[in-house]
Structure 1
Amino acid sequence: MRQTFDESTDPAFGARHLPLLRARMAEQGLDGFLVPHEDEHQNEYLPQANERLAWISGFTGSAGAAVVLSDRAAIFTDGRYTVQVRAQTDGDLFERVDLAALPDWLEGAPAGSVIGYDPRLHSPDALSVLRRAVLKAGGELKPVEANPLDLAWGDDRPAQPSAPVAPHEDRYAGESHADKRTRIGRAVAEAGADVVLLTAPASIAWLFNIRGGDVIRTPLPLAQAILEADGRARLFLDPRKVTNELPGWLGDTVSIEDPDGLPMALDALSSRRVLVDPAVSSAWFLERLQAVGAQVVRGQDPCAVPRAAKNAVEIEGSRRAHIRDGAALSRFLHWVDTVAQETLPDEREVVETLERFREETGALKDLSFDTIAGAGPNGALPHYKPVGSSIRRMERGSLLLVDGGGQYLDGTTDVTRTVAVGEPTADQRRMFTLVLKSHIAMAVVRFPEGTSGRQLDAVARAPMWAAGLDYDHGTGHGVGSYLGVHEGPQRIAKWGTEQPLLEGMILSNEPGYYREGHWGIRIETLQVVTPTAVPDGGERPMHGFEQLTFAPLDRRLIDVGLLSPAERAYVDAYHAETLAKIGPLLEGDVAEWLEAACAPL
């Protein structure tokens, strides 16, 4: 029986699978092997066949890695998965280490160790950090032709996905793929290259206006492409995914080819200048191109910024998707405020109820990520996921944090609301209001053209800092248009990039507060960068944010006395707009509840 992986994956996987991997490592003369979460496409979410980290350890989170040595092993995750990694892995077999400490852990490997890696699974940028660590330990980082984990997995490994690839119509995309290819081709030439190698599925989906079903939670087709500077392209796509309508959709200037022909296609680029993004393409591609004598031009994926800066059609689609999603979320919040306050369901029922309301829109294609529902202490884990014995019931006197989103043909949503269970305490109201002040600060900020998210991050944190508080995650991430809920290169974070926030970029606004062992608070909406006029004219072009997400805040948790008049006015205006946009989609008790929930403070 082929193995599949979900949140209940067995911690005993390590006991069964580590010996199998170590036997294959020994056959290849390896003392260790790197197991990243990423696959050949550097995806965040993976098809079952590429869940290598889950197979070896049992851990199914979306970020992590493992290192397996001949006599010990370690699994590396970040703070989002503290509870989950303990529930899903065997602590006697795997040391549990923070993901940021992976290079330090490798520096402690025995001198002379030969540690293998699959060059198809690591970007050159990530690999360079790991190579330095292994060299510092006196070891060798060695590429392998045959992945020993894949060999150990054997016949139990699920088949690679073959979901049909469908056109994403121009009425959703807002620009034909022919025009996109022409535009990106010009960017390739401007970068000093003849062609670009595209390996990021999101870029391929965006460029060709296609969507697939190879990856859960994100409508991606797994493929690669070579785009010429004149806009002609070769799309390397599993023939099983090619529908009857696809060749006609792509036209004569795009050839659909079998992925088995990609190595020869790369070899044929031996005398050409090839643009490759080393942050998102695996090391195997660069090594192959360099081996045949191609001139590799290292640079950012030319689709990344145009994909992130949404056009008018995509923005309008996102508005529609958020109103539809906001109605579903409002129905859910009504359920939480009525039925759930009495029955005190567990987190799994909370998740299933929210998902049911989204499904009842009739437009949901998938969730945009696994829904987060943290009751009480579990809400203090920023990206907690209800797993096994960690699942809790709602408790009176505590808080419930729910973070979820949907994938719709016209947009991708992601929203977090924190609600009181029973009567909130003064302390809970104070902390919620401080988070709300941070959220409002980012919602109303104006900033000059060219400002990056890293420069803006402190604006949101200032109200928290003034109270001696902070949160350990970013303030905002980019979001795609019926694509990834986490999309670069834009983000708002202390450690963010220098990428300017451009008109049309969609980002989350999600400050939070987390009291370990008690409860957590996060308020998240999505917003789009827009030009902003300054009342007195100003001297420089300015940008601001338009709110896309509309769903009521829990008024019981707002300490009005802590809000300035401007902040109070913002909340009232936001609720009035929520009622105007969402109210017409609701009926009966839910409509009455929304009117009360959106009443002025």
Structure 2
Amino acid sequence: MEIKERINCLQKLMKENDIQAYIIPTDDFHSSEYVGDYFKCREYMSGFTGSAGTLVVLEERAYLWTDGRYFLQADKQLEKTGIVLMKSGQPYVPIIEKFLKRELKEGDTIGFDGRTISKNFADKLLEEIKGKNIKFKGNIDLVNIIWRNRPKISKEPVWQLDIKYAGISRKEKMKKVREKMKEVGADVFIDAALDEIAWLLNLRGNDIAYTPVFLSYMIIREGMAILCIHREVVSEKIKDELKKDGIEIAEYEEIYKLADEISDKEKVLYDSSSINYNLYDSINKNATIINRESPIALMKAMKNPVEVENIKRAHIKDGVAMCKFIYWLKKNVPLGNVSEISAAEKLVEFRAQMDGFLDQSFAPIFGYGEHGAIIHYSATEETNVVMKDKGLCLIDTGAHYYDGTTDVTRTVVLGELTKEEKEAFTIVLKGNLNLANTTFVYGTTGAYIDCVARRPLWEKGMDFNHGTGHGVGYILGVHEGPQNISKNSKSKTKLEDGMIVSDEPGFYKEGKFGIRHENLLLCKKETKNKYGQFMVFDVLTMVPFDSDGIDLSLMNEDEVDYLNNYHKKVYENISPYLNEEEKKWLKNSTKMLCK
């Protein structure tokens, strides 16, 4: 069935159910960024494969909202579907709530599968349309009727993360969560965020590709806790260990019944950004509700000392794999038999040779030439190209090891560059180095230092249409909050000691090339004096930047010194694990640059 047919089928079902607008988000039942195959309703109905987007279908038209990372990709994938691309954040593009208020009439109905709509989004929608007598029909999954041979919901086995990697036992973590509950006066905490539950219990799974989590909910009280999960995915050994720590098992779907059984006298804590609309609606209406950010979010983001040491080891392993790969790539591209897909497969081979390798941390991005300008490009058999010994290849990849999670982007020079490419390469690198080398006072949020990375680009009339940095989980989501670095960020989360953020400015020339340089940074305390606690970053990533792309005339002495010191550190950490040819290449790649 073609996309147009699917939309037409949906519109017929909408008419039968007296629905004037139907919303299909990217989310699963837990507001996850990435979702399992069963939940890819928006992708099935629109053909758009990006990780962020919302499809809104009206009686005669359909619209898809996505952010700047996916404008070029969505333009191509929505061709001939009849779906109108709505570029979020661009002038004259309304947010979904305002759009629906404008398009719908008094008494109309908005339909959606309420398990896939967050309470947060539902609240914004309700606030915008109040006064128009517009109704919600939030218990109707129309896509399920259309989607023949829909994949089954994932039920992969759960596995335990050893304390030597987790650093803190689940019993201790549960104690800290209960302390936070007391601080806000909560008797019950309902958690629907998959990465938070996995972190809390020191368990991992495989229900979402590249993200080692398992489908579940938790209800936590002072004296007991219930994990709602598909029973068959938990071994008897793990069940027994959970029981010893005061955690009972219930079926995954029982969460709605358990929420309804909360007593009138209890105060219920939940996070509206992760709890779905139907689950919220199931909570006993007489209970007192406390809507605020989950206490686990910040605990999880501030890596403990054991995690920090493990993560440093993970980045050395990853640096070895990346250096071996880049050496291989530069050596083999001139032979004319390396494609975007085969290169991605080769990098996985190198990573798999590292001790403790588990999986990639996200779908690899290998964008050669003009494909680099598609910010989250993913090569397919139809788009795959063979690389040539000229131009640039943008490589954004990462891995999970038992020691932690990595995320690194390098723009590799494969041959002769244009003046425009070399200038852009250097300007973006300046932004990366400047952010890594910044000092800031404690209390600063990511929004305030975003300009440090963008300034070199802004000075040249350039910019990039995505955030500068995101948090990274520990064998969890490669994108993790609540911290971030972005000019559009509304996060009030301070950058704390032990937090990890990415540093990834970029520049994208549509139809020509794309450049992004990304390292992961560890936030840590530095000097403390009468002006406050000062904070700095340590670079975790151990991979050289390609000096063949650098125009030294555009860099100042501080930037060159910082780059030289970083490259010296890379060589010291990585060279002992390379063979003689690779070591020689790395020595040349990290040689001291002089103005």
Whether 2:558 is the aligned partner of 1:566: answer yes
2:20 is the counterpart of 1:25: no
Q: Distance in 2 between matches of 1:353 and 1:108?
A: 51
Find out whether 1:61 has 2:56 as its counterpart. Answer: no
Contact map agreement 2:4 2:81 (CA 8 A) in 1: no
- Alignment correspondent of 1:210: 203
**Whole-Å Cα distance in 2 between the matches of residues 139 and 41 of structure 1?**
28
Match of 1:381?
Answer: 374
Q: Is the 8 A contact 1:37 1:65 kept in 2?
A: yes
Contact 2:139 2:278 in 1 (8 A): no
Deviations 1:329-350 (A, max 9, x none): 1111112221113426332222
Q: Does the Cα contact within 8 Å between 2:411 and 2:515 map onto a contact in 1?
A: yes
Distance 2:81 2:154 in 1: 34
Rounded to whole Å, the distance in 2 between the matches of 1:511 and 1:341 is: 29
1:244 aligns with 2:236: yes
User: Contact 1:409–1:482 at 8 Å: present in 2 too?
Assistant: yes
What aligned pairs does 1:325-404 form with structure 2 within 5 A after superposition? 325-343=318-336, 345-361=338-354, 363-387=356-380, 389-404=382-397
Q: Are 1:447 and 1:543, in contact at CA under 8 Å, matched by a contact in 2?
A: yes
Aligned counterpart for 2:120 among listed residues 125, 130, 149: 125
Matched, 1:142 2:171: no
Kept after mapping to 2: 8 A contact 1:195/1:274: yes
- Residues of 1 paired with 2:2 and 2:218: CA distance? 36
Answer whether contact 1:13 1:55 (CA < 8 A) is retained.
no
Which residue number in structure 1 is paired with residue 163 of structure 2? 170
| Paired position in structure 2 for 1:15 | 4
Structure 1 residue identity aligned to 2:301: A
CA offsets, 1:69-90, max 9 Å, x none?
2322222222322343344445
Deviation at 1:91, TM superposition (A): 2.7
What pairs up with 1:291-306 in 2 under 5 angstroms? 291-306=284-299
Q: Name which of structure 1's ranges 121-130 and 443-452 shifts more when overlaid on structure 2.
A: 121-130
* Residue number in structure 2 paired with 1:433: 426
The alpha-carbon deviation at position 449 of structure 1 amounts to 1.2
- Cα separation, 2, equivalents of 1:105 and 1:65: 13
1:75 match: 64
Distance in 2 between residues matched to 1:594 and 1:443, nearest whole Å: 22
* Residues 1:34 and 2:23 are matched in the alignment: yes
1:64 Cα shift? 0.7
Q: CA RMSD in A?
A: 2.0
Equivalent position SS for 1:451: coil
Question: Structure 2 counterpart of 1:181, which letter?
Answer: M
Residue number among 475, 483, 488 corresponding to 2:468 in the alignment = 475
- Seen in structure 2, the aligned counterparts of structure 1 residues 110 and 541 have a Cα distance that, compared at 3 Å, is closer
Out of 454, 458, 474, the residue aligned to residue 451 of structure 2 is 458
Q: Name the CA distance, whole Å, in 1 between partners of 2:195 and 2:151.
A: 23
Structure 1: distance between partners of 2:589 and 2:81: 50
Give the alignment partner of residue 184 of structure 1, picking from 173, 177, 190.
177
1:312 maps to: 305
Larger mean Cα displacement after TM superposition, 479-488 or 238-247: 238-247
Amino acid at match of 1:122: I
Q: Which moved more, 1:361-370 or 1:479-488?
A: 361-370
Query: Which residue of the partner structure matches residue 47 of structure 1?
Result: 36
Is it true that 1:500 corresponds to 2:494 in the alignment?
yes
Query: Alpha-carbon deviations, 1:108-143, whole Å to 9, x = none?
Result: 53524322122221112222333455568x572412
Task: Give, in whole Å, the separation in 1 of the partners of 2:128 and 2:297.
Answer: 30
Q: 1:105 to 1:355 in 2, by over 3 A?
A: farther
State the AA in 2 paired with 1:209: N
Q: Is 1:532 the counterpart of 2:526 in the alignment? A: yes
> Which stretch shifts more, 461-470 or 547-556?
461-470
Post-superposition offset of 1:564: 2.2
Equivalent position SS for 1:324? helix
Alignment correspondent of 2:441: 448
SS at match of 2:43: helix
Look up the SS of the partner of 2:227 in the other structure: strand
Question: Unpaired runs of 5+ in structure 2?
Answer: none
Partner of 1:542: 534
- Cα distance in structure 2, aligned partners of 1:342 and 1:452: 48
- 1:375-402 CA distances to partner (integer Å, 9 max, x unpaired)? 1122122222224544444344421111
1:106 equivalenced with 2:104 (yes/no): no
**Contact 1:167-1:249 at 8 Å conserved across structures:** no
Q: Which amino acid aligns with 2:110?
A: I
Range with bigger deviation, 438-447 or 71-80: 71-80
TM-score, normalised by the number of residues in structure 2: 0.93
Cα distance in 2, alignment partners of residues 49 and 35 from structure 1: 14
Q: Quick one: which amino acid aligns to residue 576 of structure 2? A: P
State the alpha-carbon separation in 2 of the partners of residues 108 and 376 from structure 1.
41
C-alpha contact 1:49 1:157 (8 A) present in aligned 2: yes
Q: State the one-letter code of the partner of 2:551.
A: D
2:80 corresponds in structure 1 to 91
Q: Is the 8 A contact 2:333 2:388 kept in 1?
A: no
Question: Partner amino acid for 2:414?
Answer: V
Instruction: State the secondary structure of the residue aligned to 2:211.
Output: coil
Which residue, 234, 254, 258 being the options, matches 1:261? 254
Of residues 575, 578, 589, the one that matches 1:583 is 575
Question: Does 2:509 match 1:518?
Answer: no
Tell me the secondary structure at the aligned position of residue 402 of structure 1.
strand
Q: How many residues align?
A: 584
Structure 1: 5+ residue stretches without partners: 1-11
Q: Secondary structure at the match of 1:570?
A: helix
Runs of 4+ displaced beyond 4 Å:
132-136
C-alpha separation in 2, matches of 1:27 and 1:42? 28
Match of 1:7 in 2: none
- Report percent identity of matched pairs: 33
Structure-1 separation of matches of 2:427 and 2:352: 33
Q: Which amino acid aligns with 1:206?
A: W
In 1, the alpha carbon distance for the partners of 2:253 and 2:429 equals 53
* Alignment partners' CA distance in 1, 2:492 and 2:137: 32
Alignment-mate amino acid for residue 50 of structure 1: F
Task: Name which of 482, 485, 490 aligns with 1:489.
Answer: 482
Q: TM-score, normalised by structure 1?
A: 0.93
Cα distance in 1, alignment partners of residues 496 and 190 from structure 2: 25
Secondary structure of the 2:357 match is coil
Q: Does 1:226 align with 2:191?
A: no
- 2:298, 2:441 → 1: CA distance? 19
Contact 2:431–2:454 (Cα < 8 Å) also in 1? yes
**1:8 counterpart residue number:** none
SS in 1 for 2:49: coil
